[in-house]
Amino acid sequence: MIRSALTTSLPILFGFVPLGIAFGLLFQELNYPWYFASLMGIIVYAGAAQFMAIGLLAAGVGLVEIAMSTFLLNSRHMFYGIAFLESFGNWNLRKLYMIFGLTDETYALMTSIDVPKGFNQKQYFFFITLFAQSYWVLGCTIGALSSEILSFNTDGMEFAATALFVVLLIEQWMMVKRLLPFIIGLIASFIALMFFIDHMLLVAIIISICSILLFRLVNKTHYE
């Protein structure tokens, strides 16, 4: 099972390691010891928010403002948990950890795969979450130590994250086979890009959930 979860989680490796390296490289410029980059990957574990933190730290911004900007930036995650209310099981340490590890990438992967027969879904998801965070911490660490370690050119590696979401989008299409949610997502993205570019993800997710609920209301029999 651990092996299967490891294989399934590998696409996240290619997204997280380059992104983590990019974070570690920028973090170096703050002149803190390298291991604080790893520590941040361990206790905060949020891609975009960690990048934002570099700017906030450099500017010496107050803690209340840091708390609020982090909350705003990550508030899209509020919608992710809804998909796992049942599959994360009862309250225990494992569930608390899986909630902690619910990032864009793990959400995208875990909603797009079928857990192989015979495996316990909760344990399977737990290992995917654990591996994904290990990749992130690994990336952050490599980046922060890069002057000593990196010897090859990583330019363009960030495309791996895009490729991961594209692959999962195709898998979603194979599973759903209904055009409507994709079109709603597309239109919501463009509306959010046009009017709320700073909070594009959150706004687009809210618009699309509201729209699809509206569609369901109008055309109730079609969806039940």
Partner 1 sequence: MNEIDYLLATMIVMAISTYFTRIIPFLLFVPGKDNTKLNFIAKSTPPMVMTILVIYMLKGVDYLSTEIFYTLFALAVTVGLQVLKRNALLSIVSGTFVYMFFVQM
Of residues 25-54, those binding partner 1 (CB under 8 A): 32, 36, 39-40, 43-46, 49-50, 53
Q: Which stretch binds partner 1 (CB under 8 A): 116-124, 128-136, 138-146, 189-197?
A: 189-197
Nearer Cβ to partner 1 (56/119): 56
Stretch that binds partner 1, among 114-122, 123-131, 135-143, 206-214 (CB under 8 A): 206-214
User: What is the spatial distance between Cα 74 and Cα 167, in angstroms, rounded to a whole number?
Assistant: 23
What is the rounded distance in angstroms from the CA atom of residue 49 to the CA atom of residue 150?
24
- Determine, following the binding rule CB under 8 A, whether residue 194 of this chain makes contact with partner 1: no
d(CA 52, CA 49): 5
Stretch that binds partner 1, among 116-124, 125-133, 137-145, 212-220 (CB under 8 A): 212-220
Shortest approach of partner 1 to residue 1 CB, angstroms? 19
Q: Which stretch in 122-130, 131-139, 141-149, 204-212 sits in contact with partner 1 by CB under 8 A? A: 204-212
Question: Of residues 89-108, which lie at the interface with partner 1 (CB under 8 A)?
Answer: 95, 99-100, 102, 104, 107-108
Based on the shown chain and the rule CB under 8 A, indicate whether residue 163 belongs to the binding site for partner 1: yes
Exactly one of 1, 2, 58, 83 binds partner 1 (CB under 8 A); that residue is: 83
Is there a contact between 133 and 151 (Cβ–Cβ < 8 Å)? no
Per-residue binder mask for partner 1 (CB under 8 A), 123-162, x = binder? ------------------------------x-xxx-xxxx
Q: Does residue number 195 form part of the binding site for partner 1 (CB under 8 A)?
A: no
**Does 85 help bind partner 1 (rule: CB under 8 A)?**
yes
Determine if 88 is a binding residue for partner 1 (CB under 8 A). yes
4 binds partner 1 (CB under 8 A): no
**Phi, psi values for residue 177, rounded to 5°:** 55, 30
Interface residue with partner 1, options 6, 51, 66, 130 (CB under 8 A) = 66
